[in-house]
Amino acid sequence: MNLRAHNFPHVYQSLGIDLSKLGCVMLDLNEMPEARGIDLKGDPFYHAADPSHFWIKGWVFDNPHVTLLYGLMTPANETPNRELVPEVLKGWDYPTIEIDSIGYFESPYQEEPYWCIVAMVRVNAQLQEGHDRVAMLPHINTFPGYKPHATIAYIKKSLGDNYRDNLIESFNQLFIGKTLSVKGINLGGNQS
């Protein structure tokens, strides 16, 4: 089993917690020029059927970000977290983000059949510290461990495993070992 909070919907429903509405702190990254000219044949991209899943919108690597922490009990862009996030990150320097590999996550939403293609990020001490600092705020771990990644695209699951695996291999050749610099902190909201 791929262990995640979405495997236990009754637990969170009983607590009155909507897992899709938890707070998120991200690092906005500078664009990777290599990603601009990628030509994907046809229309492989998946766009959310549910408007509340606004972030599921096909190709998203034009505005890449890495999540420091998802699962804050209060949205990061609202009081009190809007003031508390900068406080726990005070004195912390942005890390360099290095792409370690390309992978994918399955949709946690049964009604949204997609794969999320991601650039897995090498965890260095500086990135781990940023995550650990934000984790001092009340939150829920929706996945075990810290697995930072930058989402590249949401693709249709109907394309099949071979399409997904070939796409991942192409991205591995293009992106592994590349670095991205951090532009700033993103406290979430209805944006990518």
- The CATH code of the domain that includes 143 is 3.90.1140.10
153 located within any domain? yes
121 located within any domain? yes
57 located within any domain? yes
pLDDT at 20: 81
Q: Give pLDDT tens digits along the chain (192 positions).
A: 678 888 898 999 999 998 888 999 999 998 877 766 566 777 899 999 999 888 899 988 888 899 999 999 999 999 999 999 999 999 999 999 999 999 999 998 889 999 999 999 999 999 999 999 999 999 999 888 899 999 999 999 999 999 999 999 989 988 999 999 999 999 986 544
Q: What angle do CA 74, 79, 84 make, to 5 degrees?
A: 85
4 located within any domain? no
10 located within any domain? no
Structural domain including 126 reads 22-186
Give how many domains the chain has, as a whole number. Answer: 1
Nearest to 85 by CA among 23, 30, 145, 128: 23
